[in-house]
Structure 1
Amino acid sequence: MRITCAVAVLAAANLLNNWLARGPAMYLLICVTATAALLMIARWDGLTRADLGLDPEGVRRGLRWAPVLVAIVLLVLLVLLALPAGREAFRDSRATDLSLGRMLFGALVRVPFGTVLLEETAFRGVLWAMIRRRYGTAWATGLSSLLFGLWHVVPSQNINRSNAALGSLFGDGPAGVAPTVAAAVVATALAGVVLCELRRRSGSLLAPMALHWAVNGLSYALAWSAARWWLG
């Protein structure tokens, strides 16, 4: 029942964010509200802060992991940007068409306090802990990662048009939508497994939050910067 309620909150947030939200302020409001609702469900289910990876020791461990994870992601992205074969991934109109102010807002506010806050609280925090307590770690990782993949069905429907690498791989027309969505679901489900394992090994929700922000936020900033000073 409580797991079903958590999934229902996420389904509503996904619908609101992708079809009804207008502007970044509404997006942030939906994400923060959904996060609060999920934490209330976690409390209803009897989960503790330690179960969620948010107890004081978990926070301390996460803060130790965070700078290392961010540095690794930054290094990987810079290497990818330096390679001719990897540069197409940075040609993404979702970032490159923005002003400096909007890019900074996206990387430093929208991503960490919207996307990362909701998704990590949901999939590596509340759902993972609820499923783990009932069925064990393997089921928690598998089911929450599958749901994380399905979470990206709607938002990935247009990325073959906005991202040059995906457009060249799958086509940037209507025929390319289905394979792009399928690839996005598989890729994000696999990413979910990595993030769940990071959550387990670190004992902290802050560690997957840091990795998630680094991948999204730094990619956003580097795509914007590269379009102006590198890619031409």
Structure 2
Amino acid sequence: MHVRPPAGRRVLVLAASSVLFLSAWNNVVVTRLPGYPGSYVAANLAATAALLVAARAGGLSWAELGLARHRLGAGLRWGGACAAVVAGGYAVGLAVPALRPLLADARVAGLDAPGIAYQVLVRIPLGTVLWEEVAFRGVLLGALARLLPASRAAAVSAAVFGIWHVRPTLSAVAANDLADGPVRTAVLVLLGCLATAVAGGLFAWLRLRSGSLLAPTLLHLATNSLGILAAAAAHRLG
């Protein structure tokens, strides 16, 4: 007869395996999948579903995952307010000519209108934001919160979120020609990952404060999707 492991052990295995899996996925795995970058959205959606199944099998409730329906209102209020602040910041950056270069991104400069629309409406919401929020502020944070105090759980999830961004930060540094040697590149990647870890801490705090995954999702979506639109506008305004 099959004996199911104790709930505490299952959550520990879920948390540990999630840390290892997420540390590798964005830096090594996804770029090596067949059809990349075209497979990016489909692969991340499949990974989202698989991780949710694993979390439920590991004993996490919908509330622990930030997906309780009765917390949607709080998530909307917190996330909507934060998204409005981000939108205001981008608007100020575009209105002040001296700030526009800070918004520019060479990876956006070459995109046409359909390319921008795909990024803003498909790739970022489904391939990036949904996956990262479910993975980090849903499953990983939910599992860690069973094992650690909330503040430590948030800190660990934020640290893994920083590690997750090693490859994307390296790509951004190269695309924008920000470094002229390996030492400067390493420093910029480290700083970029530290910045995303801080952002991950903010997202985790929003998730815990609101009780809903919707709050960090709205902030994350505003930061990334509006960031693409702001970058495109900055290039066109000069």
Q: Secondary structure at the match of 1:155?
A: helix
Q: Deviation of residue 130 (structure 1)?
A: 0.5
Gaps of 5+ in 2: 1-12
Distance 2:166 2:156 in 1: 16
Whether the 8 Å contact between 2:22 and 2:160 is mirrored in structure 1 is no
Alpha-carbon RMSD: 1.8
Instruction: Tell me the alpha carbon deviations over residues 188-229 of structure 1, each in whole angstroms, 9 at most, x when there is no partner.
Output: 11111111111111111011000001011101011112212x
Runs of 4+ in 1 over 6 A off after TM superposition: none
Distance 1:72 1:21 in 2: 39
**Does residue 190 of structure 2 align to residue 182 of structure 1?**
yes
**Does residue 170 of structure 2 align to residue 157 of structure 1?**
yes
1:178-217 to structure 2, matched below 5 A, reads 178-217=186-225
Counterpart position of 2:123: 110
Whether the 8 Å contact between 2:136 and 2:161 is mirrored in structure 1 is yes
**Does residue 120 of structure 2 align to residue 127 of structure 1?**
no
Counterpart position of 2:74: 61
Q: Deviation of residue 61 (structure 1)?
A: 2.1
**Does residue 14 of structure 2 align to residue 6 of structure 1?**
no
Distance 2:127 2:29 in 1: 13
Q: Counterpart amino acid of 1:9?
A: F
Counterpart position of 2:150: 137
Gaps of 5+ in 1: none
Counterpart position of 1:77: 90
Q: Deviation of residue 84 (structure 1)?
A: 4.0
Q: Deviation of residue 119 (structure 1)?
A: 0.9
Q: Higher relative contact order by CA 8 Å / sep ≥ 6: 1 or 2? A: 2
Give the TM-score, by structure 2 length: 0.87
Instruction: Tell me the alpha carbon deviations over residues 67-106 of structure 1, each in whole angstroms, 9 at most, x when there is no partner.
Output: 3222211101111233344222222111121011011110
Distance 2:44 2:171 in 1: 21
Whether the 8 Å contact between 2:33 and 2:39 is mirrored in structure 1 is no
Equivalent residues, number = 225
Q: Secondary structure at the match of 2:166?
A: coil
Higher Cα Rg: structure 1 or 2? 2
Identity %: 40
Q: Counterpart amino acid of 2:215?
A: A
Q: Secondary structure at the match of 1:156?
A: helix
Q: Secondary structure at the match of 1:204?
A: coil
